Amino acid sequence: MEETTSRSSSKVVAVVGGGLVGALNACFFAKRGFQVELFEAREDIRRARHMKGRSINLALSHRGRQALQHVGMEEKIVSQGIPMNARMIHSPSGKLSSIPYGKKGQFILSVDRANLNRELLTEAETYPNMQLNFDHKLQDWSAETGLMTFARSDGSVQEIQADLIVGCDGAFSAIRKQFLRRSRFNYSQTYIPHGYMELTMPPVHGEFAMEPNYLHIWPRNTFMMIALPNLDKTFTCTLFMPFEEFEKITTGEEVMEFFHRYFPDTIPLIGADALKRDYFRLPAQAMVSVKCSPYHIGDKCVLMGDAAHAVVPFYGQGMNAGFEDCVVFDEMMEQFKEDLSVVLPEYTRVRVPDDHAIADLAMYNYVEMRAHVNSRWFLFRKLLDNFLYAIMPKTIIPLYTMVTFTRTPYHEAVERWHWQNKVINGGLLLGATGAALGVACVLIKILPTSNKLAGPAEKTVEPTDGGRGGVERHLPSIKPVEAVKR
């Protein structure tokens, strides 16, 4: 069975991928009046009995909120999130210390991935020029004609002709496969040697087991665990660790031994039985970082979200960067009057450096979260950066603030961060050098005075009796060494 769909009332935009970025992007295009066809290989998440795929909690920040605001969704999603004002660091001894994310009133939001996806799909469905197509797996598409072929689970095939194809189908994008066949397309993917495993911390007497308005972190140098709050009063705990360490733990007893050693305060909160059961429920999952360029083919196709730039989750910017893709593209559509032949190459030119920068920052932040937060130097620099930001807000802006609480382009934030570090470290070095020179000058002034004072004393102790005890007459009596020993 073959079915051909064609609409001529307006340009057709085919959004491939019904995840977070795909659903939001569909809203952006529908709002502009395009005829939007959204295709998702899986069943409708709103009707699915069993959830498949990743479930790491998401941290919604300024860039993502701005994108939601453009389609009138910010207030609703924010009301369903839990504010996190700071990191809460858990030491092996159980000591707690917090590191604020920014100035007073600045926070990130813990949001549920599945719920957010459902809300975005429901919002997309409200547009009359929108068609949602689930159980449609992309088989082939043409960059020259825009013809797309989808297979369905019942064996049928559907074809559609699109004026613009938008690939939002994740890190293992089917749309991107066509890009790989073309010359001068740069592509790399990197699996980090660490995996992740999720555990659940249930409520205690109907309330959160820990303070809810924090992102809790147990940094252990080469690995770590984090916990984010959920609306149902649970915490989703995610253990990040090298695969080889996961593989060493093969029994329930070894799980308990491991947690007693590194995360003892979590055992009564998660529960020993739940730990031993859930640790083996699913194997540790891999994390991949994807970079590619360009993001477009002519005026027919463009990649966004993880299809263009999958990042590891340690800066909390994967979703936010994908959502910002939608805003940047929409702004360019406005600027260039929806001329796709201009918009697509300009989108690639502007967005590639930013997405590569956040991919690198996400890698760096894993080291910061699992190791640097234990360092006194790191804590000192955080305090110093925040102090300088408070007194010179236009000159010194902490990197995390630029990335999380502004829409400063990612690559510009990194460049400014490097410049600020040179200035601040140079200032600290200059201050330390000045202090050392000051101490040296004081010592130089004191020493000659001491020598003058010592001069007469030396004269008074010169031997006057043929060298027989002149010194002794001018020194306090000293007990013999033997007496001291006794």
- Give residue 434's pLDDT: 77
Tens of pLDDT along the chain (486 residues)? Answer: 344 444 435 899 999 999 999 999 999 999 999 999 999 999 999 998 765 555 668 999 999 999 999 999 999 999 999 999 999 999 999 899 998 988 888 999 999 999 999 999 999 999 999 999 999 999 999 998 999 999 999 999 999 999 999 999 999 999 999 999 999 999 999 999 999 999 999 999 999 999 999 999 999 988 999 999 999 999 999 999 999 999 999 999 999 999 999 999 999 999 999 999 999 999 999 999 999 999 999 999 999 999 999 999 999 999 999 999 999 999 999 999 999 999 999 999 999 999 999 999 998 888 777 766 666 777 787 788 778 888 888 888 999 999 999 999 999 999 998 898 888 888 877 777 877 777 778 778 787 655 555 555 444 444 444 444 444 444 444 444 443 343
For the chain, the three-class secondary structure string (H helix, E strand, C coil) is CEEEECCCCCCEEEEECCCHHHHHHHHHHHHCCCEEEEECCCCCCCCCCCCCCCCCCEEECHHHHHHHHHCCCHHHHHHCCEEECEEEEECCCCCEEEEECCCCCCCEEEECHHHHHHHHHHHHHCCCCEEEECCCEEEEECCCCCEEEEECCCCCEEEEECCEEEECCCCCCHHHHHHHCCCCCEEEEEEEEEEEEEEEECCECCECCCCCCEEEEEECCCCEEEEEECCCCCEEEEEEEEHHHHHHCCCHHHHHHHHHHHCHHHHHHHCHHHHHHHCCCCCCEEEEEEEEECCEECCCEEECCHHHHCCCHHHCCHHHHHHHHHHHHHHHHHHCCCCHHHHHHHHHHHHHHHHHHHHHHHHHHHHHHHCHHHCHHHHHHHHHHHHHHHHCCCCCCCHHHHHHHCCCCHHHHHHHHHHHHHHHHHHHHHHHHHHHHHHHHHHHHHHHHHHHHHHHHHHHCCCCCCCCCCCHHHCCCCCCHHHHHC
Boundaries of every domain in the chain: 12-369, 375-425
Q: What's the CATH number for 12-369?
A: 3.50.50.60
- Give residue 451's pLDDT: 55
